[in-house]
Amino acid sequence: MRRILATPTARTLAQIVLSAGILWALLSDVDIDAIGRVLESGSMWWGAAALFVKTSALLVHETRLWLALPMPRPPIRTVISLGLAAGAMNLALPARAGDVAAIAFMDRECNVPVPVGTAAVGVTSFLEAAIFAFFLLAVMGLGAAQWASLVGDASTASWWIGGGIIAGCGVLAVMAVLGRRWQNNQPHTNRIIELTKQTVVQTSSVVRNARYLGIQTAAAAVQVVLVVTAFSLALIASGASISDPIAASSMVLGIASLASFVLPPTMAAGPAAASALVLPAFGASTSEALAYAAAYWLVAHIPAMTMGIPALFARR
C-alpha cells in the first residue's frame, strides 16, 4: 500500500477520495437550502472587502520574498509574479509544494542560486508561521472557553504551539552557528551535501542580520493581520452569526492550514471540516459553519487564482 501511494496518480486519487468522503459526511445531514439562506443573509460588500484585504496580503507576502533575497535583488515585479504563480500551485498541491516551484523559478528567471532561494523561502515562511502562532496563542487565551470545548484543556494546545515555535527558533539558531563555521569551508564533492551546506550558510547570513529580521518580522506581522482580517470579514460576509469572528476565523485558519499539508486546499475538505469543528463552539449552526466554509474557500482562492494563474501560464 505504501508503494502504491508513493506514485503521484495514486496519491492524488487518494486525496480526492478522502476529500469527497469528508465533504459527503459533512453535507449528508445538512439542508443545502439552509446553507443557501445563510449565504443570502450575508453581505457582498463585506465579501468584496475580504477579497481586497486578502489580495493585499498576497502582495505583502511576495514583497517579503523579494526582501529576503540578497543585494542586488532581481526586479521586484518578476519576484512577485513568480511568487503568485507558486501560490496558485500551493492551492492545488499539498504540503506547500508550490514553494519548491518558487525556488526553481528564481533559479531559472533571476539567476538566484538554489541555496539562496531556499533560504529566502524558508525564512519567509517560518516568520509568517511564527507570528501567526503567537497570534493564535493570544486568541486561545482570549477564547479559552471555546478551546476547552474543542480540545479539552487549552493549555495542552498552547504547549504544543509554543513548543513548535521554540523548536523552529532552535533550528534557526543552530543553522546560524553552523553556517558561520561553514562559510569558508572548501566545497564538498557530493552535490547534495554541498547544496545542503550552502543552504545552511545562506540561512545563517539571513538570521544573523538584525536589521533584516526586524524588517521581515514587521512585514510578517502586517501580513498575518491582513490574512486574519480577510477571513474575519469573510465570516461576516457569509451570514453566520458569530459573536467573536476574529477568534473563530483564526481557529479555522489554523486548523485548515494544518489540513493543507495532507489535502490540497482546492479540494475544500480541510476548510469545511475546520469550520464544522470550530464554529459550533461559537454558537453557529452546522449550516452557518458550512456557509462560512464556502466563503472561506472563495476568499482563499479568488485572489490567488486571479493573479496566480496568468503568472503561472506566463511561465510555460
In a domain, residue 12? The reply is no
**Average of per-residue pLDDT values in the chain:** 83
Residue 93 has pLDDT above 70, yes or no: yes
- pLDDT attached to residue 155: 61
| Structural domain total, the chain | 1
Alpha helices in the chain (DSSP H): 2-5, 8-27, 32-40, 44-67, 76-92, 98-110, 114-142, 144-151, 154-182, 191-207, 210-237, 245-259, 269-278, 286-313
- pLDDT attached to residue 135: 85
- pLDDT attached to residue 8: 56
In a domain, residue 305? The reply is yes
- pLDDT attached to residue 1: 40
In a domain, residue 194? The reply is yes
In a domain, residue 262? The reply is yes
In a domain, residue 252? The reply is yes
Lowest mean pLDDT, pick from 74-83, 163-172, 227-236: 163-172
Cell matching residue 266: 482546492
Cell matching residue 96: 506547500
| Number of Cβ atoms within 10 Å of the Cβ of 62 | 24
Q: Print the domain residue range for 120.
A: 41-313
- The one-letter amino acid code at 302 reads I
pLDDT in tens, 178-195: 878 888 777 777 778 878
Distance of CA 263 to the CA centre of its chain: 13
Residue 163 has pLDDT above 70, yes or no: yes
- Taking alpha carbons only, the member of 130, 131, 150 closest to residue 140 is 150
pLDDT in tens, 190-213: 778 878 888 888 888 888 888 888
- pLDDT attached to residue 33: 86
Residue 30 has pLDDT above 80, yes or no: no
In a domain, residue 65? The reply is yes
- Taking alpha carbons only, the member of 143, 142, 150, 86 closest to residue 117 is 86
- pLDDT attached to residue 5: 41
In a domain, residue 304? The reply is yes
- The one-letter amino acid code at 194 reads E
CA–CA gap between residue 278 and residue 281 (Å, rounded): 6
In a domain, residue 250? The reply is yes
Identify the band that residue 277 occupies on the pLDDT scale cut at 50, 70 and 90. confident
